[in-house]
């Protein structure tokens, strides 16, 4: 007959519904590998401290090896009756090795055990996410290098503002994702502390060596306060906050990819394998991947809110509420991992329609600021130059032409400098030359500017910083 680990204390069994309600094994079995890793380190430390015998440790190691094999082979018999991953593994260990298995939990509680498992899990995932972020940044840099001189309209208010290069635009995202990488690195420091040894909440009467367990598990140090150790989940919240910011960046990029792929813009195309068709409209090719990424950003924000709300009312120390931390955390990890994996590949596959980008830049008087700047360099105060160029834009609007199409006399007529008290001689062929898109790009030649050489240098710097 199956019994709960604590059944000796109770007069009546749980109903099936309450069992299902309180059990977590169906989702926390995902922690099994880390649970075993933590148990082996704990047992090693107990043996070294003479709390259990060397023969017990040997038996535990043998049993855990078999259990890990059973889990990996999908042959492990997970039981709802045993509530969670921890009790399932402990029970199986005892079946396999007897009393040594029953000694494993000496000086330990599921409270510090689960806190340790989550940290081991999250550390592993944060390291993967860092690699994936680097891969995405590398893709952005690769496409940026190919397009370091590809001109496109830069926008403010989604209105054409000034010419930039497509490479410069992509490197803006590389910067955002590099900051996300830094946030992950920083968050890892606070994940990488060992709670084991806190036991249920107050520590243990056994002569444990927490530094040794920390060392065995690769943690930087043990946590400093036992109450905090079993109740703190802010490392998980911090990870979800960093993930939310990361997904916000993914979502902005997605929004742009979607806009750029629309027929009205036609700046880019995405490879077919990231798109789907329509069941009714034969001509359709929809940017599903960026749309879904934009949508999935919402669930990651939701998990952040969920975890914050989960923690906000909990008195010290451990409360069962915390069992609810796992599903949001797992789903955040899965969403971020899948999204980054797909995006690294998709970004590399962006097909650039440079002619359309160029034509769109010519449509919006994108070099008007360059003209005003040039007049300033010829002695006009900026406000007067601004007004003169605004008139020229109106002139072009009625003539239905671009600023760069104007001849010297036409530009003189358009600017009407004499009305503002300046000579028409300020307008010559050199002034007309600043109106070209290439001239505009070239002129922004400083750190962080869109000059194609600066873009190339920024890409090279990013490669150097990240080592690819
Ligand atoms: N499954 C539990 C969790 O996820 C493990 C800790 C249970 N501790 C307890 N005292 N009931 O938090």
User: DSSP string of 127-178?
Assistant: HHHHHHHHHHHHHHHHHHHHTTT-EEEEEETTEEEEEEEHHHHHHHHHHHHH
Cα distance between residue 441 and residue 151, in whole Å? 8
Three-state DSSP state, 406:
coil
Mean residue pLDDT of the chain comes to: 96
* Whether residue 88 has its Cβ less than 6 Å from ligand 1: no
Nearest in space to 103 (alpha carbons), one of 113, 116, 93? 93
Q: Provide the H-helix boundaries in 192-273.
A: 210-217, 226-231, 234-261
Q: Which residue has the tokens 């996410």?
A: 129
Q: Which residue has the tokens 């005003």?
A: 372
Question: Cα-Cα-Cα-Cα dihedral of 35, 38, 39, 40, to 10°?
Answer: 120
List of E strands, 344-451: 351-352
Q: Answer whether residue 2 shows pLDDT above 80.
A: no
Three-state DSSP state, 221:
strand
Active site (annotated) includes residue 251: no
What is the Cα 341 distance to its own chain's centre? 11
What percent of the chain has a predicted confidence (pLDDT) above 90? Answer: 94
Q: Which of 7, 262, 278, 423 is catalytic?
A: 278
Give tens-digit pLDDT for 346-396. Answer: 999 999 999 999 999 998 899 999 999 999 999 999 999 999 999 999 999
* Confidence bin at 410 (pLDDT 50/70/90): very high
DSSP 81: G
Cα distance between residue 108 and residue 39, in whole Å? 10
* Whether residue 116 has its Cβ less than 6 Å from ligand 1: no
What is the CA(320)–ligand 1 centre distance, in A? 6
Cα distance between residue 384 and residue 368, in whole Å? 14
Three-state DSSP state, 294:
helix
Question: Cα-Cα-Cα-Cα dihedral of 412, 418, 420, 425, to 10°?
Answer: 60
Return residue ranges of the chain for CATH 1.20.200.10.
111-210+219-358
Nearest in space to 235 (alpha carbons), one of 191, 184, 300? 191
* Confidence bin at 198 (pLDDT 50/70/90): very high
User: Which stretch of DSSP H or E encloses residue 193?
Assistant: strand 193-194
295 CB burial (10 A radius; 0-12, 13-18, 19+)? exposed
Give how far Cα 309 sits from Cα of 164, 178, 303, 391, Å: 43, 29, 10, 56
Looking from the CA of residue 200, the nearest atom of ligand 1 is 10
Q: Which CATH class is domain 363-463?
A: mainly alpha
Return residue ranges of the chain for CATH 1.10.275.10.
14-106
Choose which residue among 25, 31, 84, 329 to substitute to test ligand 1 binding: the one with the highest number of ligand atoms within 8 A of its C-beta.
84
* Whether residue 320 has its Cβ less than 6 Å from ligand 1: yes
Give how far Cα 446 sits from Cα of 72, 442, 451, Å: 55, 10, 8
Give tens-digit pLDDT for 453-466. Answer: 999 999 999 999 99
Q: Provide the H-helix boundaries in 52-156.
A: 54-72, 85-97, 99-103, 110-146
What is the CA(390)–ligand 1 centre distance, in A? 68
Q: Is the ipTM of this complex over 0.95?
A: yes
Active site (annotated) includes residue 55: no
Cα distance between residue 249 and residue 336, in whole Å? 12
What is the CA(60)–ligand 1 centre distance, in A? 22
Please state the rounded mean pLDDT for residues 203-221: 98
Return residue ranges of the chain for CATH 1.10.40.30.
363-463
* Whether residue 37 has its Cβ less than 6 Å from ligand 1: no
Give tens-digit pLDDT for 239-298. Answer: 999 999 999 999 999 999 999 999 999 999 999 999 988 888 888 889 999 999 999 999
Q: Find the largest Cα–Cα distance for the chain.
A: 102
Looking from the CA of residue 325, the nearest atom of ligand 1 is 4
Q: Answer whether residue 1 shows pLDDT above 70.
A: no
CATH of domain 14-106: 1.10.275.10
Choose which residue among 323, 326, 327 to substitute to test ligand 1 binding: the one with the highest number of ligand atoms within 8 A of its C-beta.
323
Give tens-digit pLDDT for 17-44. Answer: 999 999 999 999 999 999 999 999 999 9
* Confidence bin at 7 (pLDDT 50/70/90): confident
Side-chain half-sphere exposure of 252, counting CA atoms within 13 A: 12
At residue 279, the pLDDT reads 87
At residue 9, the pLDDT reads 86
What is the Cα 97 distance to its own chain's centre? 43
243 CB burial (10 A radius; 0-12, 13-18, 19+)? buried
What percent of the chain has a predicted confidence (pLDDT) above 70? Answer: 99
Three-state DSSP state, 269:
strand
Cα distance between residue 379 and residue 368, in whole Å? 17
* Whether residue 138 has its Cβ less than 6 Å from ligand 1: no
At residue 3, the pLDDT reads 67
What is the CA(411)–ligand 1 centre distance, in A? 77
Query: 37-41, 110-114, 208-212, 359-363: which range is least confident on average?
Result: 359-363
* Bond into 107 cis (ω within 30): no
Q: Answer whether residue 304 shows pLDDT above 80.
A: yes
* Whether residue 231 has its Cβ less than 6 Å from ligand 1: no
Q: Answer whether residue 150 shows pLDDT above 80.
A: yes
* Confidence bin at 433 (pLDDT 50/70/90): confident
Cα distance between residue 269 and residue 272, in whole Å? 9
The residue whose C-alpha atom lies closest to atom 3 belonging to ligand 1 is: 323
> How many helices (H) and strands (E) are present in the chain, helices listed first?
20, 6
Cα distance between residue 282 and residue 105, in whole Å? 63
Q: Give the domain 111-210+219-358 fold.
A: Fumarase C; Chain A, domain 2 (1.20.200)
């Amino acid at each position: 007959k199956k019994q709960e680990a604590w059944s000796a204390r109770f007069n009546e069994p749980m109903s099936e519904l309450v069992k299902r309600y309180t059990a977590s094994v169906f989702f926390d079995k995902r922690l099994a590998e880390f649970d075993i890793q933590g148990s082996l380190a704990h047992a090693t430390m107990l043996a070294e401290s003479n709390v259990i015998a060397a023969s017990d440790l040997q038996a535990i190691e043998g049993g855990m090896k078999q259990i890990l094999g059973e889990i990996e082979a999908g042959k492990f018999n997970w039981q709802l009756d045993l509530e969670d991953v921890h009790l399932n593994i402990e029970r199986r260990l005892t079946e396999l090795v007897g009393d040594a298995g029953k000694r494993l939990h000496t000086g330990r509680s599921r409270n510090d055990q689960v806190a340790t498992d989550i940290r081991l899990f999250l550390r592993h995932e944060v390291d993967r996410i860092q690699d994936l972020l680097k891969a995405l940044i590398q893709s952005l840099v690769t496409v940026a290098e190919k397009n370091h001189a590809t001109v496109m309209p830069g926008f403010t208010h989604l209105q054409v503002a000034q010419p930039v290069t497509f490479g410069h635009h992509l490197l803006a995202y590389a910067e955002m994702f590099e900051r996300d990488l830094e946030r992950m690195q920083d968050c890892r420091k606070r994940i990488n502390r060992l709670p084991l040894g806190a036991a249920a909440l107050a520590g243990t009467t056994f002569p444990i060596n927490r530094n040794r367990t920390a060392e065995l598990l690769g943690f930087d140090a043990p946590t400093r306060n036992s109450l905090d150790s079993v109740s703190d989940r802010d490392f998980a919240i911090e990870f979800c906050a960093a993930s939310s910011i990361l997904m916000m960046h993914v979502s902005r990029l997605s929004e742009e990819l979607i806009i750029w792929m629309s027929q009205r813009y036609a700046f880019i195309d995405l490879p077919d394998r990231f798109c789907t068709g329509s069941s009714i409209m034969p001509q359709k090719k929809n940017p599903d991947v960026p749309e879904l990424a934009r949508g999935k950003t919402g669930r990651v924000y939701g998990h952040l809110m969920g975890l914050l709300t989960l923690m906000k009312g909990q008195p010290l120390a451990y409360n069962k509420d915390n069992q609810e931390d796992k599903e949001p955390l797992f789903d955040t990890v899965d969403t971020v991992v899948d999204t980054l994996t797909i995006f690294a590949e998709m970004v590399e596959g962006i097909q650039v329609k440079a002619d359309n980008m160029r034509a769109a830049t010519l449509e919006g008087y994108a070099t008007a600021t360059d003209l005003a700047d040039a007049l300033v360099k010829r002695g006009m105060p900026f406000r007067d130059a601004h007004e003169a160029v605004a008139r020229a834009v109106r002139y072009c609007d009625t003539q239905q032409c671009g600023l760069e199409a104007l001849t010297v006399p036409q530009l003189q007529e358009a600017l009407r400098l004499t009305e503002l008290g300046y000579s028409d001689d300020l307008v010559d062929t050199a002034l007309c030359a600043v109106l070209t898109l290439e001239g505009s790009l070239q002129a922004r030649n400083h750190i962080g500017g869109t000059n194609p050489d600066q873009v190339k240098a920024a890409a090279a710097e990013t490669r150097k910083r990240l080592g690819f």
